[in-house]
Amino acid sequence: MNNIILFENWRKTIKFSTTPIWIEYIYHNKGDIEKKHLAFISLKETENDMHVIHPISNFILENWKYHEFNTQRKHANNTVKFLNYLLKKKHLLKISNLNELRISHGSMYLNELNLDGVSKSTIKDAERTLTKFFYWICVFGTPTHLTKDLFQKTTTELGTYLESPFSPIYPSKEKKNIEHIFPMKFIPLLLEIAITVAKPIALGIYMQIFGGIRISEAVNLNRTQVSRSLSKGDFILKIQNNNFRTDLKEHASVKKARTQLVLQINDWGHMLFKDHVKLYVPTDHSNSLFVNRDGNALSNRSYRQYFDNVKRLFLEALENSNNSEYKLLALHLRNIKWSTHIGRGTFTNLIAEDAENPYDIAHLRGDSNIESALTYMVSTNRIHKKIEEKFSKMHGSYIPKLIERENKNEEKR
């Protein structure tokens, strides 16, 4: 088993294939011979169309020997596709033989099927085959990264089966028209891209994600309506209609005048705010927090244009990655509607994960008066701490360091 498959010096003209074979199965006394149709795994030389049966066929025979041919062929095909995937991606996966397999390799392959548009049922079918295949390697091979402990056995009325150790992303049966939630682990990347290509609204995107404010509420803020809490340094926004741009036909109206809390996470908000107020000073006497390149209060339309640029470059960054999870997210976000309002949905989702009751969520989404909700401040601090802990565990070349680098570059100029 140690050398059952070596990938190191594999020729491009050789690949795995499923080969159906009839064998003489039962000899009857009268001389009749009963044949059985079996599915084997072979090596195929594509230039000469030659097949050689491979010993890994034992995996199919040992697991589905007494099943019908179609069942054998299905699992053989699933195995063959996975083995050919390993050959194609051997350098990326850093694998030279089957004993170097990791659970993550199986998950990556299943995610690749999703990217190729394969249905959820087909992916689950492949997942069942791979679960048995990885377990078979544990039994008959000497794997470096796999142990039997990774496979949990579950017994039901229909028998005993192995639980899948993989964690693929399945395609949705019904696709939503609009995406309301942005994945938490990608928030730092989105903010970093915003700082790089849409700096005038980077603070606004932060406030939308960690305070749930709407785009109309962001462009209606003036600089004196932003204060900081004494304890955590959270932002306290006094949201109201200011009607800065009476020269425009469009009207960015505030849905609900209120006092709104924006969470300060990992000092990102502080650094973004400090950088923003220094760089973007209004010259139209509006004292608007967000301004355009001419120093006038930023309009809804201009804010959206900046955000669309962030969105475009964010998707390109995911698509150019070698990570199949990133590519899957890009594919999903390409095929669904999402805009600046995703910040409010993301904020709700962040606080909902750690909220103990609906009042916590309602309060953080926007009480009319912060002082009237002091009873919720204990839970707010708890939620705040948990959210900050989640982001602090992510890799560290994010917002603060990027802002520091940009500030140093501007000082040199």
Q: What's the topology of domain 184-412? A: hpI Integrase; Chain A (1.10.443)
Report the sign of the C-alpha dihedral through residues 361, 363, 364, 366, in that order: positive
Count of CB atoms within 10 A of residue 36's CB? 12
Amino acid at position 263, single letter: L
For residue 321, give the 3-state DSSP assignment: coil
- Model pTM score: 0.59
Cα separation, 354 vs 363, in Å, equals 14
**CA of residue 374 relative to chain centroid, distance:** 36
pLDDT per residue, tens digit, the chain (413 aa), is: 445 565 555 667 789 999 998 887 777 777 777 778 889 999 888 777 788 899 999 999 999 988 888 899 999 999 999 999 998 888 888 888 899 999 999 999 999 999 888 888 899 999 999 999 999 999 988 889 999 999 998 887 767 889 999 989 888 765 557 777 888 889 999 999 999 999 999 999 999 999 999 999 999 999 999 998 866 788 999 999 888 887 876 767 787 888 898 999 888 999 999 999 999 999 999 999 999 999 999 999 999 999 999 999 999 999 998 888 889 899 989 888 899 989 888 888 887 766 665 555 666 766 444 444 444 444 567 777 778 877 776 644 444 455 455 555 555 54
Q: Residue ranges of the alpha helices (H) in 241-299? A: 268-279
Q: Give me the pLDDT at residue 314, please.
A: 94
- Encoding tokens for residue 25? 């199965």
What count of residues does the chain have? 413
Q: CA angle 263-347-300, nearest 5°?
A: 95
- What is the C-alpha end-to-end distance of the chain, expressed in Å? 63
pLDDT at residue number 401: 52
Residues of the chain with CATH 1.10.443.10: 184-412
> What is residue 2's predicted lDDT score, i.e. its pLDDT?
45
Give the tokens for residue 142.
Answer: 């000497």
What's the token pair of residue 239?
A: 């949201």
- Sign, CA dihedral 137-139-145-146, equals positive
Whole-angstrom CA distances from 281 to 237, 290, 294, 370 are: 18, 8, 10, 28
Q: Residue 337 in 3-state DSSP?
A: strand
Instruction: Give CA 320 to chain center in angstroms.
Output: 14
